[in-house]
Amino acid sequence: MIQVMSTPELARARDSGALVADILASLRTRVEVGTNLLDIDAWTREAIVEAGAESCYVDYAPSFGRGPFGHYICTSVNDAVLHGLPHDYVVADGDLVSLDLAVSLGGVVADSAISFVVGAVRSPKDTAMIAITERALAAGIGAVRPGARVGDISYAIGSVLRGAGYRVNTEFGGHGVGTTMHQDPHVANDGRPGQGAKLQPGMLLALEPWVMADTSKLVTDADGWTLRSATGARTAHSEHTVAITQFGAEVLTALRA
Ligand code: MG
Ligand code: MG
């Protein structure tokens, strides 16, 4: 079932989105060479508690992970791309870090992810790959309008990723958001225009293009959660939660001035 937000729920979704944007922006400036992933997790927990929000991750136990996640943010480094379980690892110069955060504030969820290189950029391919996921995200957002189909978003995202030479994995992708984190519809990162559920005002969607440099195949880490590229290649991931309005898309997790 696809949830449609009421006007009061949409107001809460904006607050939730602003909180996620603020936390990620703050982490983006705090994470440096020498930061432990467990510090990132602790800082996130503090920010969530201080805001009176709830973590969507700590008790999360879906079929694709091993038991409750037990942490407050996903930290995926280098070849890790999704669901990175924070662990005792110190960020090194040139690491490509992806942070993915979902919280519930006032009972409504917002979900966003950013990728960035810490310290010196080792390869221009890293920044190009991050930029492609951001461009694909913008293209997906650009395809959002009432009456459009989920497949239009998937096609817009996939066209950018494929056009840049990446192989697209359609197993994990975007999703509906509402009073819980993962809802219908699934928004694959490639697809056919004109297909899938019709978009209507009040729906919330998390759009999240991600790529791995030379493969579309994932492997699951021994921790039971972290998904890595099968080849060990580096990866990138960008995500925003958008509300469908009568005019198009309102990006809820964009950083406000
Ligand atoms: Mg996310
Ligand atoms: Mg998501």
Per-residue pLDDT of the chain (257 residues; tens, 9 = 90+): 899 999 999 999 999 999 999 999 999 999 999 999 999 999 999 999 999 999 999 999 999 999 899 999 999 999 999 999 999 999 999 999 999 999 999 999 999 999 999 999 989 999 999 999 999 999 999 999 999 999 999 999 999 999 999 999 999 999 999 999 999 999 999 999 999 999 999 999 999 999 999 999 999 999 999 999 999 999 999 999 999 999 999 999 998 76
Q: Which of the ligands is closest to the CA of residue 102?
A: 1
pLDDT at 256: 76
Q: Is 81 left (phi over 0), alpha (psi -120 to 50) or beta?
A: alpha
CA atoms within 13 A on the CB side of 60: 23
Q: Which of the ligands is closest to the CA of residue 174?
A: 2
Residues in the chain: 257
Interval between CA 9 and ligand 1 midpoint (Å): 20
Interval between CA 175 and ligand 2 midpoint (Å): 6
Interval between CA 252 and ligand 1 midpoint (Å): 13
pLDDT at 257: 64
CA atoms of 71 and 60, how far apart (whole Å)? 9
CATH 3.30.420.40 fits 7-251, yes or no: no
Residue 96 sits at the vertex; the CA angle it makes with 176 and 177, to the nearest 5 degrees, is: 10
Interval between CA 73 and ligand 1 midpoint (Å): 9
Q: Which of the ligands is closest to the CA of residue 177?
A: 2
Interval between CA 110 and ligand 2 midpoint (Å): 9
Distances (CA, A) of 119 to 74, 91, 96, 191, 199: 20, 9, 9, 36, 41
| Neighbouring C-beta atoms of residue 182, cutoff 10 Å | 16
Chain-centroid distance, C-alpha 1: 21
Q: What's the pLDDT tens digit per position in 214-235?
A: 999 999 999 999 999 999 999 9
Q: Which of the ligands is closest to the CA of residue 175?
A: 2
Interval between CA 239 and ligand 1 midpoint (Å): 6
pLDDT at 104: 98
Interval between CA 237 and ligand 2 midpoint (Å): 10
Residues near ligand 1 ion, CB 5 Å cutoff = 100, 111, 113, 239
Interval between CA 113 and ligand 1 midpoint (Å): 6
Interval between CA 112 and ligand 2 midpoint (Å): 7
